Chains A and B, each alone.
Chain A
Amino acid sequence: MIRRILTVVLVLQFGLLGLAGYGFAQAAKGNLVVGVAGPLTGTSAQDGNDIKNGAALAADIINKKGGINGKKIELVFEDDRSDPKEAANVANKLANDKRVLAVIGHFNSSCTLAGAPIYNKAGVVEISAGSTSPAVSQAGPYTFRVIVTDAFQGDFVARWMVKDEGLKKIAILYENDDYGVGLKDVMNAKIPAYGGQVVAAESYYLGETKDFTPYITKLRALNPDAVFIGGLYNEGALIAKQAADVGWKPPFFGVDGLYSQALIDLGGKAVEGTRVAGFFHTAQPDPMVQQFVKDYKEKYKKDPGTYAAFGYDALMVVAAGIEKGGADRAAIMKYLTTLKGLKGVTGVNTFDANGDVIKDPIKLVVKDGKFQPYVKK
C-alpha cells in the first residue's frame, strides 16, 4: 500500500520536473530575444562561457544606452556541451522559439554544422563566434561567422612555420572531427606548398583521449622540427605535458583553438613557447579594444579571452542587423548579407558571399605564463 502511494508520488514528482525542464520562460513584452548556443559545460566550457560573457557584455552596453529603438536585448543561453547531437536539440529548441530573432552559435565546428540545417530551414540567422572549419562556409545562407576560416588561419600558420621560422618537417596531431580534420587537410596542402613536409598526422578524440603517449612516442621517433596541434586547449595542454614528461620539447604551433588562458592553466611550464595565430589581444593599442577590455574587467573581474571578444563582436553584428534590418528573422539575414566594414574588437567585419569574414591574424606566443605578441628574435 505504502509502496503504491510512494510510486505515485514519485511519478508525479518526475512528471513535474519534466515540465519544469521545458523552461517556460516568460520574456518581458517587447524584448528582442537573441539566442546564444555553445558549450557551457564540457571540455570546451571555458571558450563557451567566454562567448557567453562577451555577448552578455555587449547586450548590457546596448541596453544601458537605451536598447535598440527603445527595446532591450534579452539573451537566451543554451548549452550544447560540444556534442553535435545536443547541438541539434538546442538548434531545434531555439529555432522553434518564435521570439528568438537570431542565434549566436555554436562554438565547435561540428556543433555549428549540426545546427546549420535546422537554422537554415527555420530561417533564423546562426552566427558563429568560434567555428573555423572550412565546411561552415557552405553550411547555408543563414549561417555566418565573425571568426575566420581555418583555410585562412591554417595558411597563415603554415607560412609562419615553414617560411618565417624555417621549420620544415612538421608532425600534425589533430582532433578527429570537422574542426580538426579541416585543419589537417589545410595543413597537408599548405605545408608542402611552402616547401615543408608533413611527416605524420595522428588523430585523437575531443574530450575523450587523455593518453597521448603512443602518439608522442611515434612522432618523436620521426624527429619533426615542429608539432602542429589541430585542436583545442585541453588536448593541447595534455600533449605538451606528456611530451615534456618524457623529455621531448618540440615547438608547438596551433590556431585560435589553442589560444585560451586554460591552455596555460592546464599546461603550465610545458606550454611555454607554444605559438598560435590569434585575432585579439588585451595589449592591442586600438581604443575600441582597450574600452572592451576595461568594460569586461569591470563586469567579470578578469581579462577577456579571445572568444569573449568574438562573442562581443557577434552580438554587435546581430544588433546592427536588428537595428538596420528590423526585428524580424529574414530581415536580419538580408541585412547581414550586405554588412560591410563593421569594426569590432577582433577586426573589421565584412561578410563575403559565404557569410565568412577576413581578418588579419596576430602572431602570439606563450611567454612567462601569458600569451604575448610574438616578436622574432
Chain B
Amino acid sequence: MAILQQFAQQLINGLVIGLIYSLIALGYTMVFGILGFINFAHGDVYMIGAFLGLVLLGTGAFNFAAAMLGAMILTAVVGVAIELVCYRPVRRFGKGFEDAMLVSAIGVSIFLETLAQVIWGTETHPMGLVIPKVVYQVGGLYISSLQVLIALVSIGLMIVLHLFVTRTVTGTAMRATAQNTMAARLMGISVNRIVAVTFAIGSFLAAAGGMLVGAYFDAVYPLMGWTAGIKAFTAAVLGGIGSIPGAMLAGVIIGIVETLGAAYISSAFRDGFAFIILILTLLFLPSGLFRVRRGEGKV
C-alpha cells in the first residue's frame, strides 16, 4: 500500500507543477494559433510577472491575492506593449518576415532577462511569504496548502479562459481569427485588436503562473523563464500547438511525466524527460494530441 501511496504522492507533485506549465503553455499556444509565430519571449514574460508581484508584495500594501491580480494586470500590459513595439512593426513588412519575428522574440527574451538582472540583481529572491502554510493529511498523503492553492487558481483560470473563448464575442473572434485570418477580417473583426487581446490574456495567465511558482518554491530570479518556458513550449507542442484544451492537458502530462521520471527513473535526468517528450512528439505525433486545422490567410 505504501507503494501506491508514494505513487499518488508523486502524482500530486507532478500535477501541481504541470498545472503551472499549462498556464504558461496557453500563452504560447494562443499566440501561435493566431499568428503562426512562437513567442520565445513568453517564458520571460512569466518571469516578469513573478517579479512584478514581488515588487507589489514588497510595498506592503498588497496581500498575496491583490499582488497576484495586480501583477497579472501589469504583465498583461507588458505583453501588449511587447506586441506593439517588437512584433507588429515586423509583421507590417508582410509575408516572408517570419524569421525576423523569431529574431525579434529572442531579442525581447534577452532584453527582459537582462533588464531583470539589472533591476533586481541575479540572485534568487524569496517571496517573503504571506500565505499561512498548512499541511493537509489525506489518507496518508501530504498535501500542502500551497499545492491546493495552485490547483484551485490554475484550474479556475483555465475554466474562465474556456468560458471566455467559447461564450464571449471577443473569444469567438479569437477563434475565428485563429481559424482563418482573412475570413475573420471579412467578417469585420479587427485582427490587430484580437492579437493584442491574445497577448494580454497569455501574459495575464503567465503572470499567474509566475506568482504561484514564486510562492511555491519561494524563489524568484531573472532566469526562471528559461526552463519553465521550454517545458511550457513543449507542452504547447504536445497538446497540438494552437489548441487551448491541448495546452491545458499537455502541461499536466509533462509535469507528471517529469516528476515520476525524476522519482522512479533518474533524478539527474529530470529536465531531460520534457525534451524526450518533445522529440518523440515531433517524430511521431507532430500535430500533437489535439490537431488544429490551420486555415489559410495567416497574418
Interface residues of A (CB under 8 A from B): 41-43, 45-46, 176, 202-205, 207-211, 213-215, 217-218, 221, 234, 237-238, 241-242, 244-248, 262, 265-266, 268
Contact = CB atoms under 8 A, between A and B. Distances in A.
Contacts of B126: 237, 265-266, 268
Contact of B268 (A203, A217, A244): A203
B263 A245 contact: no
Contact of B6 (A208, A217, A237, A241): A217
Contacts of A238: 217-219
A218 B142 CA distance: 12
Interface residues on B, range: 35 or more
B201 interface: no
Contact of B263 (A41, A207, A214): A214
Contacts of A262: 123
A237 B135 CA distance: 19
Contact of A242 (B217, B223, B263, B267): B217
Interface string B1-22: 0100010011001101100000
Contacts of A221: 2, 6
Nearest to A270: B218
B192 interface: no
> Which 9 residue pairs are nearest across A and B when measured between Cβ atoms?
A41-B122, A247-B135, A213-B13, A202-B267, A246-B142, A214-B263, A245-B144, A203-B268, A214-B262
A211 B217 CA distance: 7
Contacts of B221: 43
Contacts of A237: 126
A208 B217 contact: no
Contact of B219 (A42, A210, A248): A210
Provide the main secondary structure of the chain A interface: helix
Contact of B262 (A45, A207, A215, A247): A215
B117 A217 contact: no
Nearest to A218: B263
A268 B128 CA distance: 9
B6 A41 contact: no
Nearest to B262: A214
B298 interface: no
B120 to A, nearest CB: 12
Contact of A245 (B2, B6, B133): B133
Contacts of B219: 210, 234, 238, 266
A202 B265 CA distance: 11
A214 B263 CA distance: 6
Given A45-B123, A266-B218, 4 more contacts: A214-B263, A217-B263, A218-B10, A237-B126
Nearest to A204: B267
A238 B17 CA distance: 15
A323 B14 CA distance: 59
B252 interface: no
B100 to A, nearest CB: 13
Contacts of A242: 217
B270 interface: yes
Contact of A176 (B6, B144, B268): B268
Contacts of A215: 262-263, 267
B254 interface: no
Contacts of B224: 210
B110 to A, nearest CB: 14
22 contacts: A41-B122, A45-B122, A176-B268, A205-B268, A205-B270, A207-B223, A210-B224, A211-B13, A213-B259, A214-B14, A214-B260, A214-B263, A215-B263, A218-B10, A218-B263, A234-B124, A245-B135, A246-B135, A246-B144, A266-B124, A266-B126, A266-B218
Nearest to A203: B268
B18 to A, nearest CB: 11
A10 to B, nearest CB: 13
A46 B10 contact: no
Contacts of A204: 267-268, 270
A214 B267 contact: yes
Interface string B144-166: 10100000000000000000000
A203 B146 contact: no
Contacts of B137: 247
A205 B13 CA distance: 18
Contacts of B217: 210-211, 238, 242
Contacts of A268: 126
B271 interface: yes
A218 B6 contact: yes
A202 B263 CA distance: 9
A211 B17 contact: yes
Nearest to B222: A41
Interface string B130-141: 000101010000
Nearest to B266: A203
Contacts of B259: 211, 213-214
Contacts of B123: 43, 45-46, 262
Contacts of A248: 142
Interface in B59-116: none
A46 B122 CA distance: 10
Nearest to B13: A213
Contacts of B190: none
A213 B144 CA distance: 11
B172 interface: no
A262 B126 CA distance: 10
A208 B142 CA distance: 25
A206 to B, nearest CB: 12
Contact of A42 (B6, B122, B144, B262): B122
A41 B142 contact: no
A217 B10 contact: yes
Nearest to B267: A202
A293 B17 CA distance: 44
Contacts of A247: 135, 137, 142
